[in-house]
Copies of this chain bind each other. A is one copy, B any other.
Amino acid sequence: MGGGAAGASAAQFARKENRSAAIHIFEASTHPEYSRCGLPYALSGEIPSFESLIEYSEEWFQRNKINLHLSTKVVDINASQKTLAFEGAEGDEKAGYDSLIFTTGASPSIPKIESVSAGDRLRKGVFLFRGMDDAKSLKEWCESRARKVLIVGAGLVGLECAEALHKLGHQITVVEYLESVLPMMIDPDMADPLLSEMIKAGIEIKTFAAVESVFGGKDVEGARIRNRNDDHSEELSCDTVILTTGQRPLTSLALAAGCALGRHGHIKVDDRCETNVPGIFAAGDCSEYKDMITKREMPVGMGSLAVKMGEIAGRNAVGGDVRLLAGFLNSRVTKLFGIEIAAVGPLSTELSAAEIKYIQSRVKGSTLPAYYPGGKDLLMKLTASREDVRLLSCQIMGKEGCGHRANVIGALISAGRSAQDLAMLETTYAPPVAPCVDVITTAAQAILIKSRRAGPSG
């Protein structure tokens, strides 16, 4: 159920695994699978049309003998009889199944802000930014005239939205409840290079602040924002509000089918992407799986994980036996205002919450050797176990070359390797491509120096 990234990936790999299985996808919206991650770039116009985000067309599903039911909603599941009921364009029906995959995704959460809604709908001028319809409505709204936009939430979606609308010439203020931008992606002390680029670009940013209310007549005229440090409130004039404060998994059908939820209220799965109910699988934003380092469940919130889980769930649902690695690295990257920001592994606060003792190095480097023109600064933070310098996480930012460097660290983390192994790892070197001693090597050497100073028990 659900034809997003996880659902389409599940169907694709189920078909690869099993040529004869009958495969059905039930999708409530009118869209076949498209890249949600691409929406900000279609909003800005960098990608010419929303339609070019469609990765699996209706024709593709037909060719692969996958029955895609658009505008169709599953309304009931009977897990003991293995049947489900659905309503849709083709009428109301009932069907049996051998296995079931929940790829129901999530819906955007709506923060508690006074007057943000009118009845059970958001008021005019207030937008969400999750699906293609949200993005299209927002684009249409913003095309009519220059807007003063308030974005609530400085996570990935909020900032990607901010950049897109800034490119289109709108005036942007971003308000973040927590102390720094991208709070689920990087530690606060790594946000500076991004913040400085955003400020240079003319974006107004308020962190550790809460949007208390939206005001105005028929149209939004402004919002009241409270500084959480000093409790001082101020009014900000704006005509558009975009809510990007996270999402809630869609789990009601899974609950009805007897599936257990995890620590974060998402459907809990094992390394086969199977729920506690045999034959029922889940993948993508509606699910949670353990973190590789903390071993605690973490909610899935990225397209890349949804696709990987879809593959595993799809294959296993039709008789395969494949498994995820022993936890997620949460490998993540974005590019905002010319700064590439990448990370793998838990945030420092997550490590502390899991009572993992760590040491960290924070080093600067360059994408190219000092003597070669055009090198770009890199800032990297590497974290290793205090006990045995096993690699735990890294965060890296600069104008380019960050995501790939994070992947190298991710590969070593996934293999349980240490800062010593990283320090000794060969990295490719050529003056126009990368320096002889890469920043990832320097970061590992710095960890080893710290570790020697601290002694093995810290």
Contact = CB atoms under 8 A, between A and B. Distances in A.
Given A333-B429, A424-B324, A431-B35, A408 B404 contact: yes
Nearest to A302: B429
A431 B38 CA distance: 6
B47 A371 contact: yes
Interface in A24-81: 35, 37-38, 41, 46-47, 52-53, 55
Contact of A303 (B35, B401, B403, B429): B429
A411 interface: yes
A389 to B, nearest CB: 14
5 contacts: A38-B431, A46-B373, A408-B411, A412-B415, A414-B426
Nearest to A325: B424
A414 to B, nearest CB: 6
A432 B335 contact: yes
Nearest to A305: B426
A426 B308 contact: yes
A14 to B, nearest CB: 15
Given A307-B437, A436-B307, A437-B307, A425 B431 contact: no
A329 interface: yes
A280 to B, nearest CB: 22
Nearest to A333: B428
What are the 8 tightest A-B residue pairs by CB atom distance, in nearest-first order?
A404-B404, A415-B415, A333-B428, A411-B411, A403-B428, A331-B426, A304-B429, A335-B432
Nearest to A53: B371
Interface of A: 5, 35, 37-38, 41, 46-47, 52-53, 55, 302-305, 307-308, 323-325, 328-335, 340, 342, 344, 369-373, 401-408, 410-412, 414-417, 421, 424-434, 436-437
A214 B173 CA distance: 71
Q: Which of A328, A333, A403 has the most CB of B within 10 A?
A: A403
Nearest to A306: B436
Q: Which of A46, A406, A411 has the most CB of B within 10 A?
A: A411
Contact of A371 (B38, B324, B405, B415): B38
Nearest to A41: B431
Given A35-B431, A412-B415, 14 more contacts: A35-B369, A37-B431, A37-B436, A38-B371, A47-B431, A55-B370, A304-B428, A333-B430, A335-B432, A403-B433, A407-B425, A408-B411, A414-B425, A415-B416
